[in-house]
A and B are shown apart, each in its own frame.
Chain A
Amino acid sequence: MNADIKVAKELNLRNLPCPMPVVKISKAVKEIAVGEVVMAITTDPGALSDFPAWAKSSGHEILATEASGEETKFYVKRLK
């Protein structure tokens, strides 16, 4: 269950459109330790494809994705 994931940092990206979601997650990931998780909440439809693309390109992992209505939660683990 996603409630079991220990979150080191919460990132509120509501109402921020492109390119801000990936810009902010790339910064946030640098502020946590390797192995820790950032939970980002976004309302940007583009982020649904952008987050996986960003994760693949920068070498981090998306542990889980939770969609509820207009909001999507991404649990991003810093791998390096």
Chain B
Amino acid sequence: MESEMESELAAQVADLRSRLEALEQNAPGNKLSMVVFSGDLDKALAAFIIATGAAAMGMEVMMFFTFWGTPLLRDPEAKALGKDLMGTMFGAMLPRGAARAKLSKMHFGGLGTAMMRGLMKQKNVASLDQLIALAAEMDVKICICDLSMSLMGFAREEMINYPDLKYCGVATFLEAAQGSKIQLFL
């Protein structure tokens, strides 16, 4: 009688233990995964402030640049040749890198954005370029959406020299997001 109870208890404990192990293995890590969909200056600033802040808190950060966010990572000095008509048009119409990004509101034909940049400089706020450099220093990982690159006709040579820069698809982002405590879409 007693040994029956004992063995049942032992079986339950073993079951609980294996379920606990499975849970621990699947628990989201101290990570932040962020989609940067917008190419606006204000949203990009928020994205990088959050990313560097998270890195400062000890989190592992992954930023996935897609659609309008993609041109933010263009190198203004780099040239890419051999584009077709659509690619050339996109290349001309979209901002050539972070320094050319515009505010999402109150851009006022450039006046608003210029005033914002001036205000930021006056108050010692890091510029978008400075924040990107800071993110690189703090080991923030960046993945650029391959689909956006091909739709907009961007070549990899046109993008900035960011450490460990990767190109990927949606599943790469989703896998990182599944294992992260925080997932954001900007």
What residues make up the interface of A, taking CB atoms closer than 8 Å to B?
Answer: 15-20, 22-23, 25-26, 53-54, 57-59
Contacts and interface: CB of A to CB of B under 8 A. Distances in A.
Interface residues of B, number: 13
Which of B56, B125, B138 neighbours the largest number of chain A CB atoms within 10 Å of its CB? B56
Nearest to A14: B124
B56 A16 contact: no
A56 to B, nearest CB: 9
B86 to A, nearest CB: 38
Nearest to B48: A19
Nearest to B51: A19
Given A16-B124, A17-B124, A17-B125, A57 B49 contact: no
Nearest to A26: B56
6 contacts: A17-B124, A25-B56, A26-B56, A53-B57, A58-B57, A59-B58
Interface string B49-65: 10011011110000000
A15 B49 CA distance: 17
A58 B124 CA distance: 26
Interface string B123-155: 111100000001000100000000000000000
B58 A26 contact: yes
Given A19-B49, A23-B138, A54 B125 contact: no
Given A26-B57, A54-B57, A19 B124 contact: no
B52 A23 contact: yes
Given A19-B52, A23-B134, A57 B58 contact: yes
